[in-house]
Structures are given as structure tokens and as C-alpha cells.
A and B are shown apart, each in its own frame.
Chain A
Amino acid sequence: EVQLVESGGGLIQPGGSLRLSCAASGFTFTNYWLHWVRQAPGKGLLWVSGINVDGSETRHADSVTGRFTISRDNTKNTVYLQMDSLRAEDTAVYYCARGGLSVTDVFQRWGQGTLVTVSS
């Protein structure tokens, strides 16, 4: 069974840093792009970042470029999102999502999400 389990969320002050993790199981991790998608309370979905199978290519939304970094450890089947210079508007549930085997930038499988709250 495919599983994506996020962790690392919590309450953080504006300007702070947080690292999210997503542990994957039930599939061949090295075959798939991984993404982070967030959802502010009561709002819609926003794609945040994506990373290719070996970590050599990363993409970020304009709103997080220069502040967030996506990475992966293929030996641990884990993808990370390093979030720096956090702002109140970054408050959201952050979902880890797996791409498809051939359609890499649709979100075929999702984790249950981890809540990040940026507030003083």
C-alpha cells in the first residue's frame, strides 16, 4: 500500500525556520517525482515545490522561491521541505504528494498533511 506520512509541522514565529519531512513506503521511491502542496485554512490548493527522481531538478512557486528548499534522500525514502523566513501567509496544511509514473506533475497520491502555523 502506498503511504506518504508527513511530519515536522507546528507553531513557529514569523521569520523562523521549519523542516517538514515526508516518509514514503509501498512503492519504488526512486521512480517518482515528489511535490509539496499547501492549503491555507478554508482556502484552496497551492502547489509549493517539486523534485525529480534523483534530486537534480527542483521547482518552486514564486511565492516561496528563495525561502523554501525541497530535497530528497533516496536512501531513506524521504522528501523534505526546508522552510526559512516564514511568514503568517505560509500558515497552511502542507501535503506531500507523489507524481505519476509517466505523468510526473499530477498528484497521484497524497499524504494526510501536516499543519504549519506561523504566528507570534
Chain B
Amino acid sequence: EIVLTQSPATLSLSPGERATLSCRASQTVSSYLAWYQQKPGQAPRLLIYDTSNRATGLPARFSGSGSGTDFTLTISSLEPEDFAIYYCQQRYKWPLSFGGGTEVEIK
């Protein structure tokens, strides 16, 4: 099973700041990495798939990059609605797997 490790566990930032979230895979996942956002009491929402492809309607402040084993989700300027938990997920190999999450909290 491919293990995804997200860092940091918690990111404390202010609105308007840049957020950089990391996801590292235990083996290559090529470019087959996705990112999700989850707010309290809600289902997750797909943000980005295959490293850098934005889901329909996703604001341009969200971007993804990386390849192989190291990936990054960047939020260029945090809006109040962006404070949430973010998960990465690989689809390179079964079983599909998620990272443990990064919480972006208001500083």
C-alpha cells in the first residue's frame, strides 16, 4: 500500500497569506495525486486531480504541483472560506489511499 504523509499537520496563517501544503508518497505515484478540502460537518470536496488539474469552478488561487513522490498544494492568498482540512489522495495503485490531512487554521 502506498502511504501518503502530509505536512505540516497544522498550518496557522492569517487571511491573505500564502499556504503551502506538502504531500509525500512512500513510492512514486507518477502524477496521479489529488487534493480535497473538508470543512467541519461536511463531505470532502475535490479540488485538484492529477497533480495540477483544477476541479470545475475552483478559484485560481488554488494550484498544485509536483511529481513522483513529492507534491504541493498552494493557496496563493487565503480567503476566510479556505480554512479547513486538506487531504491528498493517490490513484496510481490499488488500494487507493489518502494522506492524514493538514488543517489550515486561522492564526
Total interface residues on B, CB under 8 Å, equals: 22
Contact B43 A44 (CB under 8 A): no
Contacts of A59 in B (CB 8 A): 94-96
Contacts of B94 in A (CB 8 A): 59
Contact A44 B98 (CB under 8 A): yes
Of listed A37, A106, A107, residue having the most chain B CB within 10 A: A106
- In the complex, per-residue mask of A101-117: 1 if CB is within 8 Å of any chain B CB, else 0: 00101111111110000
Which A-chain residue is minimally distant from B99 (CB atoms)?
Answer: A44
Contacts of B55 in A (CB 8 A): 108
Contacts of B43 in A (CB 8 A): 95, 110-113
Contact B95 A47 (CB under 8 A): yes
A17 to chain B, nearest CB (A): 23
A110 to chain B, nearest CB (A): 4
B50 to chain A, nearest CB (A): 7
Contact A106 B91 (CB under 8 A): yes
State whether the Cβ of B49 lies closer than 8 Å to any Cβ in chain A.
yes
Interface residues of A in 24-65 (CB under 8 A from B): 35, 37, 44-47, 50, 59-62
| Residues on A facing B (Cβ under 8 Å) | 35, 37, 44-47, 50, 59-62, 95, 100, 103, 105-113
